[in-house]
Structure formats: C-alpha cells, structure tokens
Amino acid sequence: MVQSKGVMEWVDGNLGSKRTVKYPSCYLIGDGAHGEVLSLASADKGMWQDAGAKMVFMAPNCTARINSKSISGHGGRASYRGLVQVRGEAPNCRVQVNCDALILDAKSRSDTYPVMETDGDLVTVEHEASVSNVSDEQLFYLTSRGIKKEEAVSMIVNGFIEPIVKELPMEFAVEINRLINLQMEGSVG
Amino acid sequence: MNEPAWLQQQRKTAQQTFDRLPLPTRRDLDWQRFDIRKLNLDKLTGNQPSVDVKLSAATGTGVIFCDMATALAKHPGILQEYLGQLIAPDEAHKFNALNTARWNTGALLYVPAGVRVELPVEILYTLTGETGSPRTLVIIEPGAEATVVQKFIGGTGAINLHAAGTEVFVKDGGRLHYISYQDFNPNVYDFTLKRARAGKDAEIDWVIGMFGASFQRYDIECEMAGEGGTSFMYGVCFAENQQQFGQFTKQHHHAGNTVSDLLFKNVLRDSAVTNFTGLIKVEKNANGTNAYQSNKNLVLSNKVKCDTRPILEIESNKLRCTHGATVGRLDEDQLFYLRARGLPEEQARHILLEAFLEPVLARIKVPAVYKEFSELIHRKVSR
C-alpha cells in the first residue's frame, strides 16, 4: 500500500529454485503515489521463473514503472506475468512497462503475459516487450577479438541486465553479477 | 438440401460441442468485461439462419467463386478436402461450433495455381433474420494471387445472433490480400472466427474493420506453416455508445524464417468496452522468426473500459519478437499545434482521430474500400 506522495520500489531477483511464482505488488492508494518494480529473473536448467509485478491504481495522479529482464538457458523457462489495473477513481495516472527477455538455447522458453485493464480516459499506459537471442553478430564481434565464446556470452548477458543491476546497491550488484556468471558457465549460445 | 455424409457428421459433432459448452460468463478470463446476457440462445437458435449473399464476378482461368449451395452441388470434392481443416467441429469454442453446425450459406473462392485474379473479389453478407451463420472458404493454390473484400451488414433491430467462420489456405508462394469489415445494425451480437494457414513463401495481408454491432468477438489467427511465410494483420475499431469489442489474435509460427506483423488500433468513446488479447506463439524449430505485435488504444471518455493483453510464448532461440501496447488520450501538444494554426478545437480533434487510424487504412490496397473506410470513420468522428 503506497500512501499519498509515497514511493515504493521493489527490486526482485529470481535466480534459483525449481518453480518461482512471485509478483511484487504496489497498491497506489494515495494521491501522487509512485510504485516501481525492477525484476530480474534467470531461469536455468529445470527452473521455471514465473515472476512479474502488479500495479493497482486506486488514487489520482499516481505513477508507476515496471522494468523486467529475464534470461532463460539450459532448458529453463522464464515468464513475465504482470497486471496493471487503473480503476475509474484514479485519474491522471501514468504507467510504463518494459520487459525484455533473452533466450540462450533451443531448449529454453520465454513467455510474456501482461494484462492491462483501464477505466476512463485520464490514463496513459505503455507496454513494451521483446524477446531475442544472443545474436551471431554480437558473438562474432567479441570472439573475433580473442574472447572465448563462453566469456562472450557472459559479457552479452551482463550487458543485457546492466540497466537493472545499475540500480542496485553495490554489494548486491556484485553478488548478482557473480551469480549470473555462475549460471552462464557451460552455456554456449 | 441433401448433404453428403462427411458434412452431416461435422455438423453433428459441432452441434454436440455447442450443446456441451456453457455460455461464457464474466468468470471466464476472456469475458470479464463483456456482458452478453441479452442473448437468449434458446429463442435465437430456434429459427433458421438467414443471410443474403451477394458475390461479384471473378475473372481468371479456372477460378471458382460461388455461394456455398452451388459449391456443394458442383465442387463437393474441394469442400470435403478443406472444410473443417482449420475450424474443427469439436474445438471447445461455443460459437465456432454453432457456425459449423448451422451454416446454410456462404462463399467459396478457389484460385488455381499460378493464376492471378486481377480485380478484387467481393463478398457481401446481409443479415436478414434473427440469426446468421455464413461460412467462407478461400483457397489460394501455389503461386496464385487474389484480393478479397468481405463485408457484413444488416440486422433486424431486435437482438440478433451472428456467428461467422472463415477458413483460408494460402499455399506455397501464394498471395492474398483480405479486407473484411462489418457495419452491422445495433443489437447484433457477432462472433467471428477467421483462421488462415500460410505455406512456404506465402503472404497473407489482412485488414479488419470493426464498426457496427452491439457486441463483436473477433478471433483472427494465422498459422505460419511454411518457411518464409509472411502475415500482416491490421485492424481498426471505432467503439462508441455501449458497444463491446473483443479482439483475439494469434500469430502462430510453426516454420522458420517467417515474418508476422500486427497492428490493432482502437478508438473508444462513450461507454465502449474493448479487450485486445494477442498471442504470438513461436514453436521450437521456428528459428529466424521475426514477429511484431502492437495494440494502440485512444480513450476519449471517462466511462470507457479498455483492456489490452499482448502475450508472447517463445520456444525458439533464434528469433526477434517484440510487442507494444498503449492506452492514452489525444496528445495535448499535437492538439495545441493544430489550434495554434487557427483550427477550431473540434476540427483539430477530428483530424487527430482520423490520423490515428490512418496507418491501418493505408494498408488497404483497394481504393474504393479505402474510401468507404475513411468515410465511415469520418462520419463517426464528426457525429
């Protein structure tokens, strides 16, 4: 619950466990409240990361941002599931959702299930998502400069999650980077 | 009409499917925003579907273009081969099953290999009774090319039920430009399913117009079955008063190096309701897929309800797949720009509204239909 002019910021990292179902939520109930979710998921072998965010607008002039990045490799499955709900009593609200997914190999899978429900005309909702793989051009660029393929993939993945890691306190950033590198071991795009 | 055994079997299965499935309610995820309680199915399905079919002439050697009764009498082989291939009678979709069980009219277009149909082929369906169930079948053989313009109108003014089904096959290297739009009278409840299969290097280019009726559920799906196929789906919807529109799209990539693009633009005003649910599904071996999906909504009143659910399900790892969805008002800056140039506010709004829908209209390659679309929209905008 975020009251008037309050700010709630979730930073959500999902890197382990077999099945994760987790949707940090912000209920914006006060005038001018702001909610933010940064979500990072990495689905490795045997994992299904079903993560996302919920933003429920119940008061005027609220804003929110959801930024999600997911990586699936070694047969893992990463899903973004999100809800943006703007009730009629919440005019002048604005929300922006970005989700990007990276698929590392042919065994893995990536899904995006966003739901956006809006009432009325005083609302701005933007949603953007993309799913892509590590491109051969990127790999070629790095490997032709003498970087081992494995390391190159790791660099590309690190670049991909950089915008989220940048927002973290330094200790966590270091930890996340190491964890991701650990998962990347043995994955060849 | 004495129908062949295979068709009787299809209808029987479909009728069982229809009877078995309950009427969707707000508990179903896809139906949360919709209210179809005014539909009295028992009463409506009691009478015979009644749709008037008008077809233009079609040119080209070996081209078959006729209504369904003629097709059954003269080309039963074609119907038996294709009918029901894409719309299975036992699929758990109540109103598709209704169409299969009850269609008594419709149209068949068959274009033989390598033949190019120069002029657009026109199909006009007019709903003349309480219910209507036309069925359309389009087959474009390898290397053939055609443009189809399909228009739905009519309605008696009382609560009407219309369930339409269209199956489209575009084979290797074939090209089809398919424009379909409806401008029903109010109180029509329309359930429409269009399903297409695109072969190797085939191209399907859809433009859909949603203007009339009280309720419309539009399912449009394209299966990319062959390497190098392309599908474009463009839709425009102008929802006003208490109109309800559901748009359910599917871009299904089975084969590699296929391209699909989708753009649905909706304008909502008064107490209109729209729900766009779009799915891009990329199967495991469909490497090199490039898929895009965009749903843009313009909301003009504080009573409208607008939902958008763009969904991706990706199992391939060599692809590019993106989507975007927006809900917003007219841009104040743009409005200011036009007003600062001396345009009255109302006129400036009309220009911006028409400009918002123009990218879809620009995809219509038949000038007369383009004109009809823009006049329809202009009338609604300047109501």
Question: How many of the other CB atoms lie within 10 Å of CB of B183?
Answer: 16
Q: Are strands A63-72 and A109-119 parallel, antiparallel or unpaired?
A: unpaired
Give tens-digit pLDDT for A119-145: 888 888 899 888 888 888 888 899 999
Compute the distance between CA of residue B170 and CA of residue B145 in angstroms, rounded to an integer.
Answer: 9
Q: What six digits make up the tokens of B110?
A: 């068959």
DSSP chain A: -B-TT-EEEEEEEE--SSEEEE--EEEE-STT-EEEEEEEEEE-TT-EEEEEEEEEE-STT-EEEEEEEEEE-TT-EEEEEEEEEE-TT--SEEEEEEEEEEE-STT-EEEEEEEEEEESSSEEEEEEEEEEE--HHHHHHHHTTT--HHHHHHHHHHHHHHHHHTTS-HHHHHHHHHHHHHHHTT---
pLDDT at position A93 over 80: yes
Q: Indicate yes or no: CB of A129 within 8 angstroms of CB of B322.
A: yes
Write down the mean pLDDT value for chain A: 86
Chain A residues with CB under 8 Å of B328 CB are: 123-126
* pLDDT bucket at B213, cuts 50 / 70 / 90: very high
- Neighbouring residues of B92: CB distance < 8 A, sequence distance ≥ 6: B17, B21
Mutate to test the interface with A, among B34, B240, B298, B317 (most CBs of A within 10 A): B317
Q: Indicate yes or no: CB of A114 within 8 angstroms of CB of B311.
A: yes
At B33 the pLDDT is 85
Q: What six digits make up the tokens of B336?
A: 């200011």
At A183 the pLDDT is 75
Which of helix, strand or coil describes residue B98? Answer: helix
At B72 the pLDDT is 93
Whether the Cβ atoms of residue B241 and residue B213 lie closer than 8 Å to each other: no
A106: nearest Cα among A79, A133, A70: A133
% of chain B at pLDDT higher than 90: 80
Whether the Cβ atoms of residue B78 and residue B112 lie closer than 8 Å to each other: no
Give tens-digit pLDDT for B269-308: 999 999 999 999 999 889 889 999 999 999 999 899 999 9
Which has the higher per-residue pLDDT, B266 or A160?
B266
DSSP B100-115: HHH--EEEEEEE-TT-
Q: Indicate yes or no: CB of B329 within 8 angstroms of CB of A124.
A: yes
Give tens-digit pLDDT for B146-191: 999 999 999 998 899 999 999 999 999 999 999 999 999 999 999 9
Chain A residues with CB under 8 Å of B31 CB are: none
Interface residue A83 vs chain B (CB under 8 A): no
Interface residue B301 vs chain A (CB under 8 A): yes
Give tens-digit pLDDT for B322-336: 899 999 989 889 999
* pLDDT bucket at B6, cuts 50 / 70 / 90: very high
Write down the mean pLDDT value for chain B: 92
Q: How far is B335 from chain A, CA to nearest CA, in Å?
A: 16
Q: Indicate yes or no: CB of A130 within 8 angstroms of CB of B314.
A: no
Chain B residues with CB under 8 Å of A116 CB are: 307-309, 325, 327
pLDDT at position B100 over 70: yes
A129: nearest Cα among A85, A63, A82: A82
ipTM value for the complex: 0.78
Write the residue in A114, A121, A127 that is nearest to B300 by C-beta: A121
Whether the Cβ atoms of residue B75 and residue B87 lie closer than 8 Å to each other: no
Please state the rounded mean pLDDT for residues A48-65. Answer: 91
Compute the distance between CA of residue A183 and CA of residue B159 in angstroms, rounded to an integer.
Answer: 60
Phi and psi (nearest 5°) for B62? 75, 5
% of chain A at pLDDT higher than 90: 21
Please state the rounded mean pLDDT for residues B345-358. Answer: 93
- DSSP class of residue B30? G
Q: How far is B258 from chain A, CA to nearest CA, in Å?
A: 15
B323: nearest Cα among B375, B381, B273, B282: B282
pLDDT at position B383 over 70: yes
Write the residue in B305, B321, B325 that is nearest to A127 by C-beta: B325
* pLDDT bucket at B65, cuts 50 / 70 / 90: very high
At B369 the pLDDT is 95
At A189 the pLDDT is 41
Q: Indicate yes or no: CB of A131 within 8 angstroms of CB of B319.
A: yes
At B83 the pLDDT is 94
How many beta-carbon contacts under 8 Å exist across A and B?
Answer: 119
Question: Quick one: B117 exposed, middle or buried, by C-beta within 10 A (0-12, 13-18, 19+)?
Answer: buried
Chain A residues with CB under 8 Å of B299 CB are: 118, 120-121, 123
Please state the rounded mean pLDDT for residues B14-26. Answer: 91
Q: Indicate yes or no: CB of B327 within 8 angstroms of CB of A118.
A: yes
Q: How far is B264 from chain A, CA to nearest CA, in Å?
A: 14
Q: Indicate yes or no: CB of A121 within 8 angstroms of CB of B305.
A: no
At A154 the pLDDT is 83
A98: nearest Cα among A38, A31, A172: A38
* pLDDT bucket at A187, cuts 50 / 70 / 90: low
Q: Indicate yes or no: CB of B323 within 8 angstroms of CB of A129.
A: yes
Q: Which H or E run contains B321?
A: strand B319-328
Chain B residues with CB under 8 Å of A139 CB are: none
Give tens-digit pLDDT for A99-113: 999 888 888 899 999
* pLDDT bucket at A186, cuts 50 / 70 / 90: low
Mutate to test the interface with A, among B312, B329, B349, B353 (most CBs of A within 10 A): B312
Q: Indicate yes or no: CB of A103 within 8 angstroms of CB of B325.
A: no
Q: Indicate yes or no: CB of A123 within 8 angstroms of CB of B323.
A: no
The single residue listed with the structure tokens 């463009």 is B234
pLDDT at position B1 over 60: no
Whether the Cβ atoms of residue A96 and residue A126 lie closer than 8 Å to each other: yes
